[in-house]
Chain A
Amino acid sequence: MKMILHILLKDLRRQWREIALYVLVSADWAWLSTHPGSWEWMRQKNMLPAVLFGLWVFIVIRAVQGECLVGDREFWATRPYRWWQLMSAKVLLCVAVLNLPLTVAELCLLRYAEIPLTAALIPGFLFLQLMFFMVATFLTSAIAAVTETLVQWLLTIAGMILFAIVLSWFPWDKLPPTLNGEENSAGLLGMAIVFGALLFLVVWQYARRGVWPARAALAVAVLTVPGMILLAHVAMVRAMAYPVATSPEVQLTVQTSADGTRTYTRKGPPFGNPEISIPVAAVHIDPHMVMSVEGMRLHLAGDHGWRWDSGWVNKSFWLGEGTSETDLDFSMPAAVMGQLPRVHATATVDLAYVTYRLTREQRIDTSRAKFEIPGVAQCRWSGSNRFEMAVPGLRCEAPLRLPGIVKEEMLARESTCSQAERDNVTPNHYAVAVQFGTDGIPADFDMDPVRELQMAFGSWLPLVPVGKEFMPARFCRGTPIVVQTGHMEERRQSSFTLGAIGTEWDAGAPDEGEE
């Protein structure tokens, strides 16, 4: 430990200027973040994270290249350094002069948001700093470990950007779209390979100083990125990301009008393929479950073996108690659209989704100037509208992360807004807001540790038409809300048979727009 501190002190003496600048900029960022002001303030505040990142990278490069791991002329290479002591000294330097000031600045931000600083936040802060270390320090130092100078480091980065530009010329758009789950699975595997290769690189360079194995590891890490993109398209990855549900969480049916007829909408955009919009409703939905759909696919099968498949398309909507209706829009060639009535097509929809389990329900009194949603956020009513807020005058803030899911519900009959703001809204109307947070990790990866709970209620339900729009659900001080929180359970895919589609359409669907 003594030698680690000895090397650390040497680096502190060498780099004190840039470290002092970094600490000053961190303090400035914290001060600006807690003292809102003019547009100039906003411009500076937005610029500072980039400046901090630049300084961070610069300090890491200088620290690593202070005892350069490349070349045969280095002053230290023939001295009795223990590689692990040297590496530990560099890690300690980065943590002490980069992570620590940032943590202090982040604590100031939490304090300003009047979020109590409790021991429960420690794992989150440690995780957040670990993420900064891995992403900013580790990646920077991996490249610094195979380069001799800052210029070489920048050239290596320029080479990587060039590689990315060349990659972008590939016809990636010819590949089918990928869903979140597939990207997550491929991304996790890719990240494991990238970090494994870079960890080998760094340790190898410190322990053995052999540039070619290290550069080979860097090449593996760089080539893994396009590999990850391709991997996300592998069918096996989709099957792993979205296993087929043995018993689907909901039943999906096509909505029917009052007289029992199904109504499809056909949209003919001015350019591109026409779209079919299928209004569906989820029934038998578990009141403690929310289903967040990430992708969908439409199969059509008709007479004489006629088939058509939309392929997987990205789609983001959620279904839960109280919000169980939505439209499924699929684009299809005009020729297929035209054939639909003749071939007596039946439709099946596949949904790839994430299920969330709501585990806690609490009724919150919002009449006080400051109120708490226990375990979720601290809220304040204020006249200030400086920050962009979903609910004017209300700011709800949480430390480090929001729960996997936060669902808020308010009832029209309990609304404290003026009657003018809920014209045509009956006491039975209600409004729901859902915000998805982060699951599985104790903090979001963001410099600002204050997370905002949006409470975007949208429209009153059932929908109240007002011209071409629907009556928005205003949330006013004093209106009680029921807040449910929960966590992500699993990713799944299910098939739902919707029945005959073309015939029904012929029977009664009006066309909208032109094909």
Chain B
Amino acid sequence: MDAIETVGLTKKFRRVQAVRDVNLKVAEGGIYALMGPNGAGKSTLIKMLMNLVRPSKGEAWMLGSSAEFLRGERLERIGYVSENQKMPDWMTVRSYMSYWRPFYPTWDRALEEKLTQGFELPVKQKLKSLSRGARMKASLVSVLAYRPKLIVLDEPLSGLDPLVRDELMEGLLEMAGAATILFSSHDLAEIEHFANHVGYMENGELLLSERMESVRSRFCRVTAWKPDAMTLPEMRPPEWMRLRHGERQTTWVEAQFDSGTSVRRAREVLGEVEIKTEPLTLREVFLTLAHQHRDGALNGGAQ
């Protein structure tokens, strides 16, 4: 069963379409990174999943229950941490934890203590006097302590220094156990080492959603080289993205790279060329997708 599933999820704020027809599946036990630039619609999508914002169209399910009815006891198994969530600032860290304790039958006091100590949280301090990193840690402890089955994090690492970021992610991965994790981020470096699934959003659309290995293996930069001058024909394969043509060298990115087919097609188009391939970093994959999407949108707009 998928821990999260959406079908045609759409959100429109007056004239602005924040999320368009998103079909997303997050498998149970997976760690899913939802990527995309600021304003891509990640937070809106997550808020719809958490029933904080009502979708204009489409449906979403969290742990098998419709997100529309996500309230009350259904939230006992789901944890949510967001960078811009308001917190009861007047509470101390200790009172914050003890306030949430009775809400969760599965609250693990020992785990709470362990995490609080591990994160070096000042339990007697009020939340308002904590640094941003410490507030996020406190928020994360208050979620991990009841061992949720699904953890949703909206930009949890944004603006944190690298040390705190690593502490937080390590703590999360260590303590999350078999929980499914969905987190959003606009910083690729944050997630590359943690996630096993990745999704990429741009302008409200989910452009990509698949396993991390698959993304890494199928996206490939291809360089064709020829000692003589190389001419680029008018008709080029549509699979060639981010094409750069030089006098003797042409470079492009293929989203479905296959060593046999891709090389043969390159030679059919460019003649006898030497082919070099290299895998793309995640950052390059998303940049390619972003450019491709924007070019498509521009072309579409021109039409």
A3 at the interface (CB under 8 A from B): yes
Using known A-B contacts A80-B72, A83-B71, determine if residue A73 contacts B104 with beta carbons closer than 8 Å: no
A80 touches B86 (CB 8 A): no
Residues of B within 8 A of A74 (CB): 85-86
Residues of B within 8 A of A78 (CB): 50, 52, 75, 78, 80
A289 to B87, alpha carbons, bound, how many Å?
65
A66 to B103, alpha carbons, bound, how many Å?
17
How does the 8 Å CB contact mask read for B89-121 relative to A, with 1 for contact and 0 for none? 010000100011011100000000000000000
Of the residues A2, A3, A6, A73, contact of B84 by C-beta under 8 Å: A73
Using known A-B contacts A72-B47, A73-B82, A74-B86, determine if residue A79 contacts B52 with beta carbons closer than 8 Å: no
Residues of A within 8 A of B104 (CB): 80
A68 to B103, alpha carbons, bound, how many Å?
18
A75 at the interface (CB under 8 A from B): yes
A77 at the interface (CB under 8 A from B): yes
A66 to B86, alpha carbons, bound, how many Å?
11
Residues of A within 8 A of B80 (CB): 78
Helix, strand, loop or mixed for chain A's interface?
loop
Question: Contact residue range for chain B?
Answer: 20 to 34
A14 to B89, alpha carbons, bound, how many Å?
10
Residues of A within 8 A of B75 (CB): 78-80
Segment 1-38 of A: residues with Cβ below 8 Å from B:
2-3, 6, 10, 13-14
Residues of A within 8 A of B47 (CB): 72
Of the residues B50, B76, B90, B95, contact of A80 by C-beta under 8 Å: B76
B88 at the interface (CB under 8 A from A): yes
A413 at the interface (CB under 8 A from B): no
A14 touches B103 (CB 8 A): no
Using known A-B contacts A72-B52, A73-B85, determine if residue A81 contacts B103 with beta carbons closer than 8 Å: yes
A72 to B43, alpha carbons, bound, how many Å?
11
A133 to B75, alpha carbons, bound, how many Å?
32
For the complex, count residues of A whose C-beta is within 8 A of B.
Answer: 21
Segment 5-33 of B: residues with Cβ below 8 Å from A:
none
A80 to B78, alpha carbons, bound, how many Å?
9
A75 touches B103 (CB 8 A): no
A77 to B84, alpha carbons, bound, how many Å?
13
Closest to B84 in A: A73
A82 at the interface (CB under 8 A from B): yes
A210 at the interface (CB under 8 A from B): yes
B54 at the interface (CB under 8 A from A): yes
Residues of B within 8 A of A66 (CB): 88
How does the 8 Å CB contact mask read for B42-78 relative to A, with 1 for contact and 0 for none? 0000010010111000000000000000011111101
Residues of B within 8 A of A2 (CB): 102
A80 touches B74 (CB 8 A): yes
- Most chain-A CB neighbours within 10 Å: which of B85, B87, B90? B85
A10 to B72, alpha carbons, bound, how many Å?
19
Residues of B within 8 A of A210 (CB): 54
A75 touches B85 (CB 8 A): yes
Closest to B43 in A: A72
A78 to B151, alpha carbons, bound, how many Å?
11
A75 touches B86 (CB 8 A): yes
A397 to B84, alpha carbons, bound, how many Å?
59
Residues of A within 8 A of B78 (CB): 78
B86 touches A3 (CB 8 A): no
B52 touches A77 (CB 8 A): yes
- Most chain-B CB neighbours within 10 Å: which of A10, A68, A77? A77
Chain A positions near chain B (C-beta within 8 angstroms): 2-3, 6, 10, 13-14, 66, 68, 71-75, 77-83, 210
> Could you jot down 28 A-B contacts, CB within 8 Å?
A3-B102, A3-B103, A6-B99, A66-B88, A71-B86, A72-B52, A72-B53, A73-B82, A73-B84, A73-B85, A73-B86, A74-B85, A74-B86, A75-B85, A75-B86, A75-B88, A78-B78, A79-B75, A79-B103, A80-B74, A80-B103, A81-B71, A81-B72, A81-B103, A82-B72, A82-B73, A83-B72, A210-B54
